[in-house]
Structure 1
Amino acid sequence: MPTPRPLALAVSLATASLTLTAHAEEAERLSTLTVTAQAATKTETPFNETPQSVSVIENEEWEARGAETVQRAADYTPGVYTNQIGASNRYDYLVLRGFTDGSVSNTFLDGLKVMSDGGSFSSLVVDPWFLERIEVVKGPASVLYGRASPGGLVAQTSKRPEFEHSGEVRLGIGNNAQRSAAFDLTGPLDDERRVAFRVTGLARAADTQFGPVEEERYAFAPQLSWDVTDATSLTLHAYLHKDPEGGYHSGLPYEGTAEDRNGRRISNDFFEGEEDFDKFEREQTLVGYELEHRFSDALTGRQTLRYTESDVELEQVYAFGWASDTELNRYYSSGDESLKALAVDNQLEARLTTGAAEHTLLAGVDYQQRDNDVVWGSGAFPTIDAFDPQYGAEPTAFYPDVRQKRELEQTGVYLQDQLALGNWRLNLGGRHDWVDIANTDRDTGVTGELDDTQFSGRAGALYLFDNGLAPYASYTTSFSPNAATDQNGDLIEPSQGEQVETGLKFQPAGTQDRYSVALFHITQENLATKRASETFFRATGEIESQGVELEAHTRLTDNLRLQVGYSYTDVTLEKTGDANEGNTDNWVPRHQASVWGQYTVQQGGLAGLDAGLGVRYYADIYADEANTEKVPDYTLVDATLGYDLAKAGFEGVSARLNVSNLLDEEYVAGCSDIDFCYFGAERSVKATVSYTF
């Protein structure tokens, strides 16, 4: 099993030592504050009683860093690679413990899967302005959620109505013509405070570093919560989202971006497309409810339901390899997709005691259904000079459209028992899924089908010492359906993953500080692999991921907060059936380290001022599965400066300046292969003014 570098381990231990000293007296006078890891168990379980690695990202953390997407909110989370497609903000790409499959569609919102279609352009996103917190569950989580990547999942929690009046209005401007306006209002609707509302909205637009490409977003979320009785509550909610402009999403050859081509480099603001053939529009509607009834203090029932509709239209002219010393080949891609989906989860939670053991039992039945009608077009365009581009070209060819109906249906039954026996915390769970997938060619009528059942399990044990230390070990499994077809036109059987993890958590009494170290080994089998001479896929692949992650969230003093993270991830292509067997997987940093510190002035003439500085480091990223090239290592610096104007007599008003990539580093963030490498985002400067009441 790999071990962290000595320097990283020394820094972690030194940080822990300083923190213990700083909190020695404070812990005695503070009441215990609980940080939960609810997504890993679907119950209210404290962070240091969960035998699995979970990173919790609170709203105030990403707000301070100025993050405007979920992937940017996770920038400082170890074990999560957020620069897979560089400067693109179209989707929330999150590589978890080295696994890229499902990185776009493996997200959950309020306990239900965000019903995207990972094999198409219909991957949905939720703007973080509408979220309260984000939990990253590391490793397999199929036992509670069904189909999922073995690398983990990203669980998002929405802001919900509150029974006290409050609100916020925010305006922002920045470079690249950034402009934004947002609001968030909540409070009771009746004198008895049994009904509460929340309305949240956002409008945001910006140019990008890539020629004429723009980003534009509008989103609105109305909600209503009703305490029907003292034991029954109902929340109705909707999320309406439109992206008229979806920004840039394309790659360029390794030679010319990560290294010179004939002594020259392509500019990191180069646009290889055509303005008249560049389009990405996405509309999303999510409507649902959350119903909870407490039968007694020991028994609670819940039902969560969400219906989703999404429409995506896409046009893009993209580059694919060099045609000459200076010119790139270009092709055309388009998409027109309409997705409709339903997800529902029914739970029954019981708390009971048998002898010396206290049990939290969770039984559930969930159902997912998704239909996506797609039309995919393709064509060819004239070449373009990467160093002296001339625009205005017309297509040279259009090829026949591909028309598909993509259907998925999944039903799962799960049972989990969390036992507290003295200082021991045990977690046992099992789940059985029935999965039906059908992809039908609407022109030929040929259907690729999968009708399968899967069992997923989990077993974990943790010992909680009185001083807050908690060593643990766990074993978990997962499954993930494949979108590829075999030589008979049938969908490949689902990939299966298993993980062994051991680690140590620590949360000092009376604080929200938390420290963790996790060592893991994941194997995923039955991957879809393809030989160059064949047009179909085979289920022969295997990937092995192993590594270590260290994470610390601490308040060193009353004024200074610190977040430190380090991960070592070694991902090997164990079985591929080709020359890449035994190589390291690409798109995965072997070393990833980050630190974020924020200092708040609480007294004196500068009271109300805060400043934050962060550094992110990425190293040893292969550009292709053949391991012929590596992406140059890179380091990024982010900064923030904020001021609470209440200190100057403007109650409720605050201002913040955020700068990402402070040093304006020009870099390649990652490559899917030698032909597609992705420039990282240039420096972004943004100022916001907020009024809270």
Structure 2
Amino acid sequence: MPTPNPLTLAVSLVSVFTVLTAQAESAQNMPADELDTLTITGQAATKTETPFNETPQSFSVIEDDEWEMRGARSVQRAMDYTPGVFTNQIGASNRFDYLVLRGFSDGSLSNTFLDGLKLMGDTNSHSSMSVDPWFLDSIEVVRGPASVLYGQASPGGVVALSSKRPQFQQAGELRFTAGNNSQRSAAFDLTGPLGASQRVAYRLLGLARAADTQFGPVEEERYAIAPSLTWDMTDATSLTLKAYLQKDPEGGYHAGLPYEGTVIDRNGQRIANDFFEGEDEYDKYERTQRMLGYELEHRFADAWTGRQRLNYLNSDVELNQVYAYGWAPGSDSELARYYSGADESLEAWTLDNQLEAHLRGGFIDHTLLVGADYQRRDNRVAWPSGAFPSIDAFDPQYGAEPIAIAPGSPQDHALRQTGIYLQDQMGLGDWRLTLGGRHDWVDISNTDLTTDASSELDDTQFSGRAGLLYLFASGLAPYVSYSTAFTPTSFVDANGDLLAPMEGRQIETGLKYQPLGTQDRYSISLFRINQENVATKEQPTDPYRAVGEIESQGLELEANAQLTDRLRLQAGYSYTDITYKRSDDGNEGNHAIYAPRHQASLWGHYAFDGGRLDGLDAGLGIRHYADIYADRANTAKVPEYTLIDATLDYDLSRAGFDGMSARLNVSNLTDEEYVASCNSLEFCYFGAERSVSATLSYAF
């Protein structure tokens, strides 16, 4: 498949915008009751209910029916068709939700928020949180810096997850899934009112699933349950209590293999994409996470609303892993192997207080948001390590014992962050001006609990955003914005001191369009992001210095359209040019890894109506990735690859089984064998093989 031409695609979408604008302008002569626009909001982008085409920043919203239709079993898979997001950083691994936003992979695991509060994992460890998509109602991806509202974050953007909430109408669903690689799962969702007053509603969701993987004996297993309760205390006050408990006894595969042997031949041979380089007796990833929280909202008057959100998180992780690190010296077929372990216990609190006001000052409408939040995290870790005998990659023999394992010194990773923020969204006729500012106090420390040696950072940061948008009556909205971000790191300098946080800034301009009376959305955006204070060093053994700079610039196109009553289309394209603009390690001017310069996707879904196919839905998607560098020195690339996904869904009520439906999902339909990405020439990651699953659902 030829590499897409970004200029051609940009011109094509602008042409589409022109045609659609003309159609919308002619539609303005229709009766007003036929032109009510169905509002799509960017809740995470502004922390307020702001319509899609009034938000001067690029974002995407993925609803649960979209990823369920495609059979996604993780948050990262739910975003496979979202432009600006690369979901194949670690290939077939499902352990963490790796998401590369606008080319930035640093901190992506910590840039996930659940119901407006940060999932306080520790990116300098194995304690990164995961929420199963069965428990989610929607996912919003905000592209570009969002520190003005959320504090520390990657300049690439944030991912906001929204939980399924209690409903005041009785409903329920049971779901059962089976597939290849011994996939099996069962899930339930129950909701409705409690008592006759209609003031209290509950929701209870649960899930149990397990599967083998394509990598030898490695398995995935998960059990989760989420109870929640909403109490409308008065007409103006609401309280929601919620909990999320998840246990992953088996965390799946998470390792890489050398470029030579996976992408290119090693003495005329290739490693199989189901090869397992570890040892079954020393392979374990077990994670238990518990979250408890509440949301309190009170309307003081028609114009004033106060909110408080709190979340407590506790996580325990135990890891044992034997992994490969390059070819063994002097061998044509054996991989050198090492051992890595972890025993981690994380505890975190997050709190966000908001006051929102809708005011009119003269001829300007204001949506004012004032907030103060607090984040606290402590993670006790111990990381044993050691060496293992090598293994033949083409004729593996298992059962080896470690050569040596050294216990790791226990450490404590602590973070405290307090922030205050102010945002004013102003409407002046058809103009929309957004201004925001935030000040943060950040304390970070890494302490060796054996020696009491500690590295500490006590810093303050200011983040800001300014955006200007003009909303035409047709629904067309050009905009321009500027925003900043900061990202603390765990790297230390020659004196053992933590480096100053990385600082990012972005300028973005774009065009949005939502035709009147529809949920269709079209957008094009151009951006440039610069991140400074990036940790870099001249030689591998040298200490780090915060002198590096990364620059990411590109183009993103996205279209979501209901073309007919039965045909829906979703299309996206990203051109991302991210380079090491300044660096001490010899890579200055090179392209970054984990960032396809070209990424394109297309998904079509058709619902049959009438005839023998009445009740049948069919979906087909294609994803293409090209121009991915395999190492920071840019000596090699990952070959481009194209993946096809498909689904068939049948409403069994048409056959007399009320409330029942059956769905077949196939990802990587052609069973393409490919390397998805590389971290270096020593660690490349096989992509997922073909997956086939069948799901039976009963809604009542």
**Pairing partner for 1:395 from 356, 380, 402:** 402
Does 2:344 match 1:343? no
Does 2:660 match 1:653? yes
Residue 9 (structure 1) aligns with: 10
Q: Which shows bigger deviation, 8-17 or 58-67?
A: 8-17
| CA RMSD after TM alignment | 1.4
Residue 612 (structure 2) aligns with: 605
Distance in 2, Cα, partners of 1:602 & 1:283: 46
Report the Cα offset of residue 64 of structure 1. 0.6
Residue 565 (structure 1) aligns with: 572
The secondary structure found in structure 2 opposite 1:104 is helix
Alignment of 1:433-444 (within 5 A): 433-444=440-451
Alignment of 1:141-220 (within 5 A): 141-220=146-225
Residue 411 (structure 1) aligns with: 418
Aligned 8 A contact 1:22 1:557 in 2 = no
The secondary structure found in structure 2 opposite 1:343 is strand
- TM (norm. structure 2) is 0.97
Does 2:467 match 1:466? no
**Distance verdict in 2 for CA 1:604–1:22, change over 3 Å:** farther
Query: 2:357 is matched by which residue type in structure 1?
Result: A
Distance in 2, Cα, partners of 1:57 & 1:365: 28
Distance in 1, Cα, partners of 2:373 & 2:165: 23
Distance in 1, Cα, partners of 2:338 & 2:22: 61
Aligned 8 A contact 1:19 1:556 in 2 = no
1:300-353 deviation digits (Å, cap 9, x = unpaired): 000000000000000000000101100000000000000000000000001100
Aligned 8 A contact 1:19 1:555 in 2 = no
Report the Cα offset of residue 572 of structure 1. 0.8
Distance in 1, Cα, partners of 2:375 & 2:289: 18
1:230-289 deviation digits (Å, cap 9, x = unpaired): 110000000000000000000000000011111110000000000000000000000000
Distance in 2, Cα, partners of 1:15 & 1:563: 14
Residue 298 (structure 2) aligns with: 293
Distance in 1, Cα, partners of 2:222 & 2:21: 44
**Pairing partner for 1:552 from 542, 545, 559:** 559
Does 2:119 match 1:118? no
Report the Cα offset of residue 678 of structure 1. 0.1
Aligned 8 A contact 1:562 1:597 in 2 = yes
The secondary structure found in structure 2 opposite 1:379 is strand
**Distance verdict in 2 for CA 1:410–1:689, change over 3 Å:** same
Distance in 1, Cα, partners of 2:523 & 2:300: 37
Report the Cα offset of residue 532 of structure 1. 2.1
**Pairing partner for 2:310 from 305, 309, 317:** 305
Distance in 1, Cα, partners of 2:488 & 2:289: 24
The secondary structure found in structure 2 opposite 1:63 is helix
Distance in 1, Cα, partners of 2:502 & 2:59: 23
1:32-79 deviation digits (Å, cap 9, x = unpaired): 200001100000000100000001111111011110100000000011
**Pairing partner for 1:487 from 494, 497, 502:** 494
Alignment of 1:240-279 (within 5 A): 240-279=245-284
The secondary structure found in structure 2 opposite 1:434 is strand
Provide structure 2 residue ranges, at least 5 long, that are not aligned to the other structure. none
Report the Cα offset of residue 6 of structure 1. 3.9
Distance in 1, Cα, partners of 2:189 & 2:84: 32
**Distance verdict in 2 for CA 1:198–1:547, change over 3 Å:** same
**Distance verdict in 2 for CA 1:6–1:539, change over 3 Å:** closer
Report the Cα offset of residue 200 of structure 1. 0.3
1:2-58 deviation digits (Å, cap 9, x = unpaired): x96244235535655786799877986353200001100000000100000001111
Query: 1:501 is matched by which residue type in structure 2?
Result: E
Report the Cα offset of residue 499 of structure 1. 0.1
Residue 514 (structure 2) aligns with: 507
Aligned 8 A contact 2:110 2:153 in 1 = no
Distance in 2, Cα, partners of 1:471 & 1:319: 50
Does 2:324 match 1:319? yes
Report the Cα offset of residue 105 of structure 1. 1.7
Aligned 8 A contact 1:483 1:491 in 2 = yes
Distance in 2, Cα, partners of 1:521 & 1:689: 46
Residue 32 (structure 1) aligns with: 37
Distance in 2, Cα, partners of 1:453 & 1:4: 43
Distance in 2, Cα, partners of 1:647 & 1:21: 40
Aligned 8 A contact 1:335 1:377 in 2 = yes
Distance in 1, Cα, partners of 2:157 & 2:589: 23
The secondary structure found in structure 1 opposite 2:492 is coil
The secondary structure found in structure 2 opposite 1:60 is helix
Residue 463 (structure 2) aligns with: 456
Distance in 2, Cα, partners of 1:189 & 1:519: 49
**Distance verdict in 2 for CA 1:293–1:559, change over 3 Å:** same
Aligned 8 A contact 1:22 1:556 in 2 = no
Aligned 8 A contact 2:673 2:689 in 1 = yes
Distance in 1, Cα, partners of 2:110 & 2:367: 30
Report the Cα offset of residue 650 of structure 1. 1.2
**Pairing partner for 2:382 from 371, 375, 378:** 375
Query: 2:434 is matched by which residue type in structure 1?
Result: N
Provide structure 1 residue ranges, at least 5 long, that are not aligned to the other structure. none
**Pairing partner for 1:46 from 45, 51, 54:** 51
Distance in 1, Cα, partners of 2:563 & 2:19: 7
Residue 445 (structure 1) aligns with: 452
Residue 135 (structure 1) aligns with: 140
**Pairing partner for 2:234 from 221, 229, 233:** 229
**Pairing partner for 1:72 from 62, 68, 77:** 77
Query: 2:602 is matched by which residue type in structure 1?
Result: V
1:510-565 deviation digits (Å, cap 9, x = unpaired): 00000000000000000111232534211111000000000000011111000000
Query: 1:248 is matched by which residue type in structure 2?
Result: Y
Distance in 1, Cα, partners of 2:59 & 2:449: 43
